[in-house]
């Protein structure tokens, strides 16, 4: 039976990288003998333009029915100053589907070491999995606005912390067995609860995994000076947003990183971690690797197609090793050409 993928191309480079990743998914499915059905829905700024809402009811209904959701990116200067913002659609979708665990793998491709802002000896071998809590914290706390005052409440419950931490500990068991939990427990009450709760869960169920706590300011520094000392990074929503962009460039370009947002429902949401990149949109020059990596994660986590997921990852690895580069990495390939290179390697 065919699996249903809802596609949300969104704004800016979103449609460009989405098209590239869907082409890769289609040919991979063909090669591995399963069938995928793709349906595009309006989302983000494009949906505001089409019907006045960033997350229209029919888009949300389709996402709830789908086997998985694939998203490009949302946002851009066109909608930046209006009260209805594309980004609100993304937050609404994450929340409506309860996608509390955002996995953002940060792995250096050896052929790209020279593109990292870090010295080669520092960046060599870096392989971090960021587990960003995605439906709590300041993003979703009460917001207040008065004439000359504004506030965003940062709230976490033990329940929210435990379910995210479990994903991190479980992931660590399949990796190098180490979790660094990042907070601001020296200042924030919500971080003190975070630290206590993670420690208690560790004591109770995950003593076999090594746990280290770090404060977010010094962690931001150590991720640059010693990125090799991290395996799984567990952190709350806002810190995870900031630290994942910081980590992404260690690998050479933000255009390389994919993500999976998972929850208690079966549908996952898959998207590159970059935004709509308005400065390069419409030119077919965006790096599609982050989107293609997200497509591989979709096959792994939502469709249980591990072999096909690995085929995409391996083909991407080989394409980069053989020198295929988009402009963010100093190359000449267009978004479409980069995807074609990867598809050629999948065909074998």
Provide, rounded to whole angstroms, the least separation between the CB of residue 168 and ligand IPM: 18
Q: Which residues are catalytic?
A: 139, 184, 217, 241, 245
Strand 258-262 versus strand 269-272 pairing type: antiparallel
Residue, CB closest to ligand IPM:
87
As to burial, measured by CB atoms within 10 angstroms (0-12 exposed, 13-18 middle, 19+ buried), residue 145 is exposed
Provide, rounded to whole angstroms, the least separation between the CB of residue 192 and ligand NAD: 29
Stretch that binds ligand NAD, among 50-58, 187-195, 230-238, 272-280 (CB under 6 A): 272-280
Among 167, 182, 254, 342, interactor with ligand NAD by CB under 6 A: 254
List the structure tokens of 37.
Answer: 């059905």
Kindly tell me which of 241 and 313 has the beta carbon lying closer to Mn ion.
241
Kindly tell me which of 91 and 188 has the beta carbon lying closer to ligand IPM.
91
Binding-site partner at residue 280 among Mn ion, ligand NAD, ligand IPM, none, CB < 5 to 8 Å by type: ligand NAD
Stretch that binds ligand NAD, among 33-41, 132-140, 162-170, 283-291 (CB under 6 A): 283-291
Task: State yes or no: residue 16 binds Mn ion (CB under 5 A).
Answer: no
Kindly tell me which of 206 and 239 has the beta carbon lying closer to ligand IPM.
239
Provide, rounded to whole angstroms, the least separation between the CB of residue 91 and ligand IPM: 6
Provide, rounded to whole angstroms, the least separation between the CB of residue 276 and Mn ion: 11
**Interacting residues of 205 by C-beta distance below 8 A, sequence separation 6+:** 166, 169
Provide, rounded to whole angstroms, the least separation between the CB of residue 274 and ligand NAD: 3
Task: State yes or no: residue 104 binds ligand NAD (CB under 6 A).
Answer: no
Provide, rounded to whole angstroms, the least separation between the CB of residue 13 and ligand NAD: 6
Please report, as residue ranges, which positions from 327 to 346 form the binding site for ligand NAD (by CB under 6 A). Answer: 328
Among 19, 241, 271, 328, interactor with Mn ion by CB under 5 A: 241
* Count, residues in the chain: 348
Task: State yes or no: residue 102 binds ligand NAD (CB under 6 A).
Answer: no
Task: State yes or no: residue 113 binds ligand IPM (CB under 6 A).
Answer: no
Please report, as residue ranges, which positions from 264 to 283 form the binding site for ligand IPM (by CB under 6 A). Answer: 273
List the structure tokens of 121.
Answer: 């000896």
Among 241, 313, 328, 341, interactor with ligand IPM by CB under 6 A: 241
Four-residue CA torsion sign, 328, 221, 180, 155: negative
Please report, as residue ranges, which positions from 80 to 99 form the binding site for Mn ion (by CB under 5 A). Answer: none
Residues engaged in binding Mn ion (CB under 5 A):
241
Residues engaged in binding ligand IPM (CB under 6 A):
75, 87, 90-91, 241, 273
């Amino acid at each position: 039976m065919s699996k249903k993928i809802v596609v949300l191309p969104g704004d800016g480079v979103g449609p460009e990288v989405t098209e590239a990743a869907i082409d890769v998914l289609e040919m991979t499915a063909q090669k591995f003998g399963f069938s995928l059905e793709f349906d595009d829905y309006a989302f983000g700024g494009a949906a505001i333009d089409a019907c006045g809402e960033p997350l229209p009811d029919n888009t949300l209904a389709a996402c709830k029915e789908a086997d998985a959701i694939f998203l490009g990116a949302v946002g851009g200067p066109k909608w930046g100053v209006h009260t209805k913002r594309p980004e609100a659609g993304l937050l609404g979708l994450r929340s409506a589907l309860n996608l509390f665990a955002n996995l953002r793998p940060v792995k250096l491709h050896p052929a790209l070491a020279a593109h990292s802002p870090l010295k080669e000896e520092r960046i060599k071998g870096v392989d971090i999995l960021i587990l960003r809590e995605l439906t709590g914290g300041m993003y979703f706390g009460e917001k207040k606005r008065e004439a000359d005052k504004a506030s965003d409440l940062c709230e976490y419950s033990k329940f929210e912390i435990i379910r995210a931490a479990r994903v991190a500990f479980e992931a660590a068991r399949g990796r190098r067995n180490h979790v660094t939990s990042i907070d601001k427990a020296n200042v924030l009450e919500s971080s003190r609860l975070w630290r206590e709760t993670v420690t208690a869960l560790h004591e109770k169920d995950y003593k076999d995994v090594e746990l280290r706590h770090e404060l977010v300011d010094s962690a931001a520094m150590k991720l640059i000076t010693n990125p090799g000392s991290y395996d799984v990074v567990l952190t709350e929503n806002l810190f995870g947003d900031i630290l994942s962009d910081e980590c992404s460039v260690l690998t050479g370009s933000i255009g390389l990183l994919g993500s999976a947002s998972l929850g208690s429902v079966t549908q996952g949401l898959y998207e590159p971690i970059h935004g709509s990149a308005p400065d390069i949109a419409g030119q077919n020059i965006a790096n599609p690797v982050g989107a293609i990596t997200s497509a591989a994660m979709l096959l792994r986590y939502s469709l249980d197609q591990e072999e096909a997921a690995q085929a995409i990852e391996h083909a991407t690895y080989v394409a980069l090793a053989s020198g295929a580069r988009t402009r963010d990495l100093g190359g000449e390939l267009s978004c479409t050409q980069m995807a074609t290179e990867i598809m050629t390697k999948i065909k074998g």
